[in-house]
Amino acid sequence: MKRVLFTWIGAADFRAAEGEGSSGIDVGPTAMAVTTQEFDEVVLLCDYPPERATKFENWLQKGRRLRISRKDVSLSNPTNFAEVYTAAVKVVEEARKGSQRDEIELTFHLSPGTPTMAAVWIILSKAKFGAKLIQSSRERGVETVDVPLEISAEYIGDLLREPDDEVKRLSEGLPPDAPEFRDIVHRCNPMKRLIAMARKAAPRNLPVLIFGESGTGKELLARAMHNSSLRKKGPFVPVNCGSIPGSLAESFLLGHEKGAFTGACKRQIGYIEKASKGTLFLDEVGELSLDIQVRLLRVLQENVISRLGSTRRIKVDVRIIAATNRDLFGEVVRERFREDLLFRLAVAVLKIPPLREREGDLGPLIESILEQVNEENKGQPGFEKKNLSPSAKSLLAQHDWPGNVRELLNTLQRAAIWSSGSVIREQDIQEAIILLKQDRETRFSDRPLGPGFSIKKIMAKVAEPYLVQAMEQAEGNKTKAAQLLGLPS
């Protein structure tokens, strides 16, 4: 496991590096930590001038075989809680990028820097990253710190959210109230920007393409746009393109006449015609075959359809909102999606950020979803209204949520069922999350290619249980274990 230390560079560190601590007793808190503890990497955060920081970095590196990297941070004030928090989160997330949670051990150093910096490390350790905390002193050396603090960074409120000029610009001219979007729980600036853009596009009769990972709420956004458009009195017809059998896709979308093909016992109105005067929501539009994409393109160009088994052209008035979790631009390059259809759909483009990038949204989402779970289970035999313990909230805040809001909903539903009494405890959440995590880890073929994907890591995961089993059978003899596995060494 890779061990990484994160620490601000403080005044005591500079004094040690610049000769005032050369006695060997006062080497500064950071040097003391890397001397007495084992780390594979040290990440230095610094808001001092780069020239001075570089001298400290070189002094710390001298004679040590470990990787040291420095992140220069611009703070208006080292006691500005919001700025320190934002900078620390960014640096830690960059360092963790591409690594699984169980492949990297994080340690935060409390001693260097201002009290605000130490407080932020404590919050991030308990509520977001699950890191180990250490502190240094001349009298006691380096100690592990156990802070009994069950707190989530999700609940520190507007202190962490700076004003977003882009949100203000996008919101200009919009009505102050948007009841159609109230069901989309959010606080973070990326979601505020998204909602402002969606509200701008909603009244206009333009195609919309929504990008977003599975479980991010693409249909919820599409419904809100329909309900705030001039078409709100018309139908909203959702279609999961991935669930339509390929041979029947044309019939499902365009409809058919009786006798159009074997099994066509009566006339069927297609989804496009059903959505006339309203909105057709094509979820996972990237799943449509190329020949169906041609038919859909014609509908967008001519606003007419012909049912299978008929030559009559039917005028339709439909707005299409499409959604996908695929990279359609990459699919065009691979010739799996038509370029002309993509640019017909992508007139207004919206991208929903994954839950892991929605800083500050998890807390309100947990409260909203738990309220929904309580309402849905009200009246069920033996069900009590549920609340979350502080430690359960903290555990929820530390999870990565690769399945986004849908995974959060499923986890809380499962925990509500399994928990006894009115309080959902940490163990209830842990069991619900672990079950889902184990299920994901067995589905290696489902992992998407792209940033963070590593075939070596997947192969290592597959090999790990066999390596352990071989070492047990060989009673610790590596040569015998290699023979059992069919390896040369």
> Are 178 and 228 spatial neighbours (Cβ–Cβ below 8 Å)?
yes
What are the C-alpha distances in Å from 291 to residues 241, 255, 282, 307, 430? 14, 16, 16, 16, 46
What are the C-alpha distances in Å from 399 to residues 85, 134, 445? 19, 23, 22
DSSP 210-258: EE--TTS-HHHHHHHHHHTSTTTTS-EEEEEGGGS-GGGHHHHHHEE-T
Q: Residue 197 corresponds to which tokens in the numbers above?
A: 């853009």
Q: Letter for the amino acid at 135? A: Q
pLDDT 10s per residue in the chain (489 long)?
889 999 999 999 998 888 754 444 568 999 999 999 999 999 999 999 999 999 999 999 988 888 999 999 999 889 888 889 989 999 998 888 877 666 889 999 999 999 899 989 988 887 788 899 999 988 888 999 887 654 444 545 444 455 566 676 677 777 666 788 988 999 888 999 999 999 999 999 999 999 999 999 999 999 999 999 999 999 999 999 988 887 788 888 988 888 878 778 888 899 999 999 999 999 999 999 999 999 899 988 999 998 888 888 999 999 999 999 998 988 998 899 999 999 999 999 999 999 988 988 998 999 999 999 999 988 888 889 999 998 898 889 888 899 999 999 999 999 998 898 899 999 999 988 865 555 454 455 555 566 556 777 667 767 776 777 777 677 777 888 888 888 877
Per DSSP, what are the bridge partners of residue 71?
A: 45
What's the mean pLDDT when you consider all of the chain?
Answer: 85
Domains observed in the chain: 2-149 (3.40.50.10770), 159-355 (3.40.50.300), 361-444 (1.10.8.60), 455-485 (no CATH)
Each residue's pLDDT tens digit, 218-229? 999 999 999 999
Give the closest residue to 62 by CA, choosing from 2, 110, 16, 4.
Answer: 16
Nearest-angstrom CA–CA distance, 63 and 458: 35
Q: Which long-range contacts (CB under 8 A, 24 or more apart) does 446-451 make?
A: 450/327, 451/97, 451/98
Each residue's pLDDT tens digit, 322-378? 999 998 988 998 899 999 999 999 999 999 999 988 988 998 999 999 999 999 988
The phi-psi region of residue 465 (left if phi > 0; otherwise alpha if psi is between -120 and 50; otherwise beta) is alpha
Length of the chain equals: 489
> Are 184 and 223 spatial neighbours (Cβ–Cβ below 8 Å)?
no
pTM of the model: 0.68
Alpha-carbon radius of gyration of the chain: 28
Contacts of 210 (CB under 8 A, 6+ apart): 218, 221, 222, 321, 322, 323, 324, 350, 351, 352
Q: Are strands 41-46 and 2-8 parallel, antiparallel or unpaired?
A: parallel
Q: In what order do the strands lie in the sheet with 319-324?
A: 236-240, 279-283, 319-324, 208-211, 348-351
**For residue 368, which phi and psi values (nearest 5 degrees)?**
-65, -45
